[in-house]
Structure 1
Amino acid sequence: MFAIWKTQPKDSNKELMNALKTKTIKDELLHNSVPPLTAFERDIVKEITRSTQIHNESNITRTNKYLAFYNTYPEIEWALLAHLVSRNSGWSMTDLKGEWLSKLLSEKEQKNYFRLLERANWLIFQDAYPQLLLYHYSLQHNQSLFHLLSHFNVSRFMEPIWNYFLDKQDRSTLSTALIMNEQHYIEKRVIHNPFFKQAVLDTIDFKIQEWLGLTQILFPFANKRKQNEIHFSGHTVHQFASISSRINFGKELYATLFSNSKRLRSIVHWAEKHPHTGSRKDYWPHLFHTVRESPPGKLSIKLERCRIRKGATRIYSPPLNIAWEIIDHSPSSPDDWFTHWDLASPLLTPPTSTEENMKEAHCEALSKIELAVAAKQIIFHRKN
């Protein structure tokens, strides 16, 4: 399958290797076909369909399965990235019912924002988890089963990518391809969905969230000597509606996550020791609490340099199962995003990252949102 690659000398330069890799994958895409299923393959498809449906129940179940898969197959680095990004999605969902956004947004706006986050989270798992399970079964049966991807409406782009990974164990290329695939997968189904575009993405309130810094992705980890002292890696999202920006952002997150092995171990350790609940209390219990400790309508500034002011109560951040009910999803359209080869161009650029001081950025974002809520309440009281 990859004979053209295997004939190259080991000292081939990076540019040539990328070109050969691209040609190899492109050739396989052009000769893609779907053979009839055997009884064995039908059983695999049935089991994966059943398992995906069970574990795609909520943000909690999805997030947990990503981490469990990574712990079993750490070579699939995207699974850890998916776990951490999905954690952040859960925090964003509960923020809508938490201390501050529940005062800034109407009930209808909260529900619309939640539906967007939940739909994207559901769609990505619906597309990605069958791929992960096919990797599991391919190893278990010592044969590639990725020709079955089409039976889960996964883009034809991914079959040669996975087969290339089986052959070369190129973690970076696989992770980049999965990032590209999932962002393209939600592009038409969420980002350009007429309802989400009008009700959320084109609204002033959504654009204000970027200004407030509420579109951060945090990778918490503990100080080895001081386990209660939490640090953050990660980055801040910009231009969420742009697919090229989202793909580049995903590549940057991936590069950051796996750029420091010592920090990576700390991030994984923290994730394993702190089950995902959706509450921001998971990482900062000194600031957040799952119980509302102050009256809902009371106006007060609680934060001072990322600490709770003396005499103030902690910030309300409910667990996901308290904030939102589990919802049913309509099936996704079977359209394939991969329509021309130019869409695969991000594969040619390796993931790179620049470090951000996420602890400082996160503290600043929290202060901004608190001041925005206080300003709105002051204006409201003056009018009344």
Structure 2
Amino acid sequence: MINCFKKRPKINQKLKKQLKQKAKQLPSSFSKSDLTPWEINIIEQIDKKTTKFNKNNITRTKAYYEFYRAHPEIHWALLGHLVSRNGGWNMTDLKGDLLPRLMTNRERENFFSFLERGNWLIFQDVFPQCLLYQQSLAKQKNLFYLLPYLDVSIFMEVIWNNFWEYRDCRQLAIAMIINEQNYLEERVIQNKHFQDTVLHTIEFKLYDTFRFNHIIFPKLNEITGRPSVVGDTLYQFDELHQRINIGIRLYDLLFQRKARLQAIIQWAAKHPHTGSRSDYWKDLFHPVNESAPGPSYKRRTKNCRLKKGKTRIYSPPLQFAWADVEHKEAEKKDWFHDYQVLYYLDKSEKEIGGEIYDDYCNALEKIELAIIAKNAIFFK
């Protein structure tokens, strides 16, 4: 295991200088014809392995976790695993007990396409970086000069080079957060199709307003033996700055306390990701639909506990909710153009409590009340 460098050197000026040098190179200057057969083979193997694991949310989430187990110094891999679990839960919510009562089939399909595209794009950008790091370790040689041939931003090439030298695990993780969110910005958030079908719709604005967009990390409770949750809430999903900031907060929440980190890792190890929320709360969610069909709905929960005699909330596994998607190739464009993003690397670690239980339970109850209100209007 590679040890992380604890005291981060102030190297932002060095990073800026290196980025300026890299920015002078045109994308057309990175031709695979300039590479040796050995280098081309590495790129082809990375592409092949990335495609294999980028099949769906389940395969991506597992790949992140397995990589973190092999290389725990790459903190983002665990963060990516946990956030990807949340992405899967959001996907299956669209086919569960509650959201289908509030959204049309077309709205839910559009929302799934939005979530799936983002999940796919992040993996096809970040996992090759991880695999190239793995190859660098195996060859005992810095291979990050190959990142541009994998269509990875020059920003990350400079960051990986510095990680190879300084082993600053936190800086690398934050840089990967910056990279992934900027990578998504033009390809998903600013994409007109997703703006028209998801981001600018009333349904999405209500989703954001009602604070349904929680990101939770289950962990084992040593006292009860039952899972509990910590996490944070993302406000204004379409704001790049907000997404980067919550990524940094979630990173600090995950890694600043060793006991909490270990409890989360223990839970993840014992609960393979299926996409069903029953993975972490079996007494509240169930992978099989136990409720009676029909438009009528009565409240089942209070403080995240089932009311007496009520059936559990249906939360299907991903494999039964959505078919795999064939994606069109990602746009080949480097997002990096503003050195101001280095500001995020200077942000000091903050104590994050992660208390989210009450907010999460309140959001669940709001969804139930919204369903009842809709029924009262349309099914009198």
**Both structures adopt the same fold (TM-score exceeding 0.5):** yes
Question: Which amino acid in 2 is paired with 1:49?
Answer: D
Aligned equivalent of 1:379: 377
Aligned equivalent of 1:119: 117
Cα displacement (A) at 1:346: 1.9
Where 2:10 maps in the other structure, the secondary structure is helix
Where 2:353 maps in the other structure, the secondary structure is coil
Matches of 1:167 and 1:93, distance apart in 2? 39
Cα displacement (A) at 1:354: 3.1
Aligned equivalent of 1:146: 144
Cα displacement (A) at 1:38: 1.0
Matches of 1:340 and 1:309, distance apart in 2? 52
Where 1:157 maps in the other structure, the secondary structure is helix
Deviations 1:222-244 (A, max 9, x none): 1113222x221210001110101
Aligned equivalent of 1:291: 288
The equivalent position to 1:164 in structure 2, one of 162, 165, 169, is 162
Aligned equivalent of 1:261: 258
Identify if the C-alpha distance between structure 1 residues 131 and 363 changes in structure 2 by more than 3 Å, giving closer, same or farther.
same
Aligned equivalent of 2:239: 242
Question: Which amino acid in 2 is paired with 1:208?
Answer: L
Does the 8 Å CA contact 1:144/1:163 hold for their aligned counterparts? Answer: yes
Matches of 2:38 and 2:137, distance apart in 1? 15
The equivalent position to 2:19 in structure 1, one of 22, 26, 29, is 26
Cα displacement (A) at 1:20: 4.2
Where 2:39 maps in the other structure, the secondary structure is helix
Matches of 1:115 and 1:303, distance apart in 2? 29
Aligned equivalent of 1:273: 270
- Superposed counterparts of 1:1-384, under 5 Å: 17-23=10-16, 25-26=18-19, 29-30=22-23, 34=30, 36-228=34-226, 230-297=227-294, 298-382=296-380
Deviations 1:258-281 (A, max 9, x none): 011001001001001000000000
Where 2:379 maps in the other structure, the secondary structure is helix
Deviations 1:41-95 (A, max 9, x none): 1110010000000100000000000000000000000000000000000000000
Aligned equivalent of 1:7: none
Does the 8 Å CA contact 2:15/2:158 hold for their aligned counterparts? Answer: no
Deviations 1:205-237 (A, max 9, x none): 101112332210000001113222x22121000
Cα displacement (A) at 1:204: 1.2
Cα displacement (A) at 1:182: 0.5
Deviations 1:133-164 (A, max 9, x none): 00000000000111111111111111110010
Matches of 2:121 and 2:322, distance apart in 1? 18
Question: Which amino acid in 1 is paired with 2:47?
Answer: T
Cα displacement (A) at 1:172: 1.1
Matches of 2:291 and 2:191, distance apart in 1? 38
Unaligned runs of 5+ in 1: 1-11
Unaligned runs of 5+ in 2: 1-6
Does the 8 Å CA contact 1:98/1:318 hold for their aligned counterparts? Answer: yes
Question: Which amino acid in 1 is paired with 2:69?
Answer: N
Provide the identity percentage.
45
Where 1:235 maps in the other structure, the secondary structure is strand
Question: Which amino acid in 2 is paired with 1:17?
Answer: K
Cα displacement (A) at 1:25: 4.0
Question: Which amino acid in 2 is paired with 1:43?
Answer: N
Deviates more, 1:282-291 or 1:21-30: 21-30
Q: CA RMSD in A?
A: 1.8
Question: Which amino acid in 1 is paired with 2:104?
Answer: S
Where 2:298 maps in the other structure, the secondary structure is coil
Question: Which amino acid in 1 is paired with 2:280?
Answer: Y
Cα displacement (A) at 1:31: 6.5
Aligned equivalent of 1:8: none
Matches of 1:351 and 1:96, distance apart in 2? 35
Aligned residues: 369
Does the 8 Å CA contact 1:222/1:266 hold for their aligned counterparts? Answer: yes
Deviates more, 1:214-223 or 1:350-359: 350-359
Does the 8 Å CA contact 2:118/2:184 hold for their aligned counterparts? Answer: yes
Does the 8 Å CA contact 1:251/1:352 hold for their aligned counterparts? Answer: no
Deviates more, 1:343-352 or 1:245-254: 343-352
Aligned equivalent of 1:5: none
Does the 8 Å CA contact 1:184/1:243 hold for their aligned counterparts? Answer: yes
Does the 8 Å CA contact 1:34/1:147 hold for their aligned counterparts? Answer: no
Matches of 2:204 and 2:378, distance apart in 1? 21
Question: Which amino acid in 2 is paired with 1:155?
Answer: S
Question: Which amino acid in 2 is paired with 1:318?
Answer: P
Identify if the C-alpha distance between structure 1 residues 168 and 31 changes in structure 2 by more than 3 Å, giving closer, same or farther.
farther
Cα displacement (A) at 1:356: 3.6
Where 2:216 maps in the other structure, the secondary structure is strand
Matches of 2:289 and 2:312, distance apart in 1? 8
